[in-house]
Amino acid sequence: MPDTETAVPPVGSEAPDFTLPAGDGSQVHLADLRGKTVLLYFYPKDDTPGCTTEACSFRDAWDELQRRGVVVLGVSRDDVKSHQKFASKYSLPFPLLADLGGEMTQRYGVWVERSMYGKTYMSTARTSFLILPDGTIGHVWEQVKPDGHAAEVLEWLDARQQS
């Protein structure tokens, strides 16, 4: 996969389709989830502090997300075995998808260049997409702060339902 950035798909556009392996051994195909609201969140790496905080916030908000009919899918470039270990360690009730080659990460525009200590490298930007039942992107959260992100998603869903 080339190390190039692509744009984040805009709100109102069709969510890029995908089929990826999940930590439980299944294959998740976005087209199979038509008719459901999907929270697709991209994170850099399993079992790191920020990614653990974010995943556990979705775990802790699981009942509320389920009441609203939201399917939660986490995506990183870690492999299935890493996802299994991470999900088991923190009792995550939702699938973690393995985007090993990074094609999906790039199609969603979250494969970005970063720099640290004068060195540049490519990494996954912590970004979440709310995909509506018709398959379009309803909202995008960029530069997500892991702590409190699940509450932010629930607030957005509640505000949308009231309008």
- Residue 56 falls in the annotated catalytic set: no
Smallest CA-to-CA distance from 79 within 121, 3, 21, 2 is with 21
Single-letter residue type at 17 = D
| 15, 30 Cβ separation under 8 angstroms | yes
- Looking up tokens 């075995």 gives 81
Q: What is the pLDDT of residue 76?
A: 96
Q: What is the pLDDT of residue 163?
A: 65
Integer Cα distance of 141 and 130 in angstroms: 8
Q: How far is CA 96 from CA 13, 20, 86, 120, 136, in A?
A: 24, 10, 9, 27, 21
Residue 4, token pair as written in the block: 């190039």
Integer Cα distance of 16 and 71 in angstroms: 16
| 26, 95 Cβ separation under 8 angstroms | yes
Per the residue annotation, which of 51, 92, 130, 131 is the catalytic one?
Answer: 51
**pLDDT in 10s for each residue of the chain, 163 residues:** 444 457 889 999 999 999 999 988 899 999 999 999 999 999 999 999 889 999 999 999 999 999 999 999 999 999 999 999 999 999 999 999 999 999 999 999 999 888 878 888 788 989 999 999 999 999 999 999 989 999 999 999 998 877 6
Integer Cα distance of 43 and 104 in angstroms: 12
Q: What is the pLDDT of residue 114?
A: 81
Integer Cα distance of 61 and 31 in angstroms: 25
Q: What is the pLDDT of residue 161?
A: 77
Element housing 116 (H / E): strand 111-116
Domain spanning 19-162, CATH class: alpha beta
